Structure 1
Amino acid sequence: MPLAMIVIAAFLLGAAIGWARAAKAGGGTADKLQYAAAHALALTVLALFLSIVLTRMG
């Protein structure tokens, strides 16, 4: 289960990074939610790819 935790952590980290970037740019709530969703999705895909590679390597 540790690999699944990496994906979950990447999702949460991506959402936090996206929210912070939108807040720093002065965006409203909708902007913050959109940035959070986009960053969360991107980091989740990367983490999923990483977990697949690590699983295949043994």
Structure 2
Amino acid sequence: MIVILGIVAGALWGVRSAKQKNGDRKDIAQYGGVGAIIGGLVGLFVTIGLEKLL
């Protein structure tokens, strides 16, 4: 669940960042994709960390 939230949050962050920089559709898609990957990885590490603690 945390990974999915990370993916969604990362994608939204990437899209917002590209729109602020006046990017076209391709830029928005690329930033959204990269943000989703980064958010998913962060969510994965958080999930692993929580599993190790509990």
TM-score range normalised by the length of the shorter chain: over 0.9
Specify the code of the residue in structure 1 equivalent to 2:11: A
Normalised by the size of structure 1, how large is the TM-score?
0.87
Q: RMSD of aligned C-alpha atoms?
A: 0.7
**Runs of 4+, deviation exceeding 2 Å:** none
Aligned-residue sequence identity (percent) comes to 31
Normalised by the size of structure 2, how large is the TM-score?
0.93
1:41 to 17, 37, 40: 37
Specify the code of the residue in structure 2 equivalent to 1:54: L
Unpaired runs of 5+ residues, structure 1, are none
Instruction: Check if 1:9 corresponds to 2:12.
Output: no
Unpaired runs of 5+ residues, structure 2, are none
CA shift at 1:6, angstroms? 1.1
How many pairs are equivalent? Answer: 54
Aligned position for 1:30: 26
Aligned position for 1:53: 49
